Amino acid sequence: MNDKITENYLGLNIVRRLLIDKFGEDSIVLIGYLKDKDFVSEEQIAQDTGIFYKSLQKSLIRMQDAKVIVCKKITDETGYITYYWRIDFDALVEYIQENVYGMFSQLISKLEYGEELYYCPSCSIEGIVYYSYEDSLDYQFKCPRCGSDLKLLTIETIENLKEKILK
Ligand SMILES: [Zn+2]
């Protein structure tokens, strides 16, 4: 299971970008490090990965908010608190699937509800870059990012792009 994630998901640009967006720059290293470990203390993680402490804590807390990591708090006899962390891989897989695969099905539903959308073939490499009809009209059907001609987005295009993006 854990290997499946690192091989199938972490190698995908779209997944890496999602994780970096949501959990911070260091989350890829963090997930790679924690993937085959049980609870590891925050100090130990920082020491082993070399991730800057503040940045590590930020990633851990964001992952905890998304419920993809579990925290265990242990107080010793002097009252010193140590935080231990373990990745919840089932939750992480679900999170990735909802956020990455969900994006494609959301787009398909939009089209099924009759929305007219336009996409940029040049920019749709790691995700589908699309615009509403109104925005496209404002942009005179040229991509505001790269200037390419925008094209009408169809369900077939989404399926094709999905295959390319997730390959
Ligand atoms: Zn473009």
Domains contained in the chain, number? 2
Residue 98 lies in a domain: no
CATH number of the domain at 57, please: 1.10.10.10
Task: Please give the distance, rounded to the nearest whole angstrom, from the Cα atom of residue 129 to the centre of ligand 1.
Answer: 7
Residues 158 and 125 occupy one common structural domain: yes
Task: Please give the distance, rounded to the nearest whole angstrom, from the Cα atom of residue 109 to the centre of ligand 1.
Answer: 23
Residues 76 and 44 occupy one common structural domain: yes
Residues 85 and 124 occupy one common structural domain: no
Cα–Cα distance, 162 to 27 (Å, whole number) = 24
Task: Please give the distance, rounded to the nearest whole angstrom, from the Cα atom of residue 55 to the centre of ligand 1.
Answer: 32
Residues 24 and 89 occupy one common structural domain: yes
Task: Please give the distance, rounded to the nearest whole angstrom, from the Cα atom of residue 132 to the centre of ligand 1.
Answer: 14
Residue 110 lies in a domain: no
Residues 18 and 88 occupy one common structural domain: yes
Answer whether residue 11 shows pLDDT above 80: no
111-114, Cβ contacts within 8 angstroms, sequence gap of 24 or more:
111/153, 111/154, 111/155, 111/158, 112/155
Residues 66 and 124 occupy one common structural domain: no
Q: Are 31 and 37 in contact (CB under 8 A)?
A: no
Task: Please give the distance, rounded to the nearest whole angstrom, from the Cα atom of residue 92 to the centre of ligand 1.
Answer: 31
Residues 12 and 83 occupy one common structural domain: yes
Looking at residue 114, its pLDDT comes to 95
Residue 125 lies in a domain: yes
Task: Please give the distance, rounded to the nearest whole angstrom, from the Cα atom of residue 25 to the centre of ligand 1.
Answer: 25
Looking at residue 119, its pLDDT comes to 96
Structure token digits, residue 106? 């959301």
Q: What percentage of the chain exceeds 90 in pLDDT?
A: 71
Domain enclosing residue 137, as ranges: 116-165
Residue 107 lies in a domain: no
Residues 47 and 124 occupy one common structural domain: no
Name the band, by pLDDT with cuts 50, 70 and 90, for residue 10.
Answer: confident
Q: What percentage of the chain exceeds 70 in pLDDT?
A: 95
Answer whether residue 1 shows pLDDT above 60: no
From 60, 78, 93, the end of a domain falls on 93
38-93: per-residue pLDDT in tens?
A: 999 999 999 999 999 999 999 999 999 999 999 999 999 999 999 999 999 889 98
Residue 25 lies in a domain: yes
Cα–Cα distance, 61 to 104 (Å, whole number) = 28
Residue 128 lies in a domain: yes
Residues 89 and 129 occupy one common structural domain: no
134-162: per-residue pLDDT in tens?
A: 999 999 999 999 999 999 999 999 999 88
Looking at residue 12, its pLDDT comes to 81
Answer whether residue 13 shows pLDDT above 90: no
Task: Please give the distance, rounded to the nearest whole angstrom, from the Cα atom of residue 124 to the centre of ligand 1.
Answer: 7
Task: Please give the distance, rounded to the nearest whole angstrom, from the Cα atom of residue 125 to the centre of ligand 1.
Answer: 10
Residue 44 lies in a domain: yes
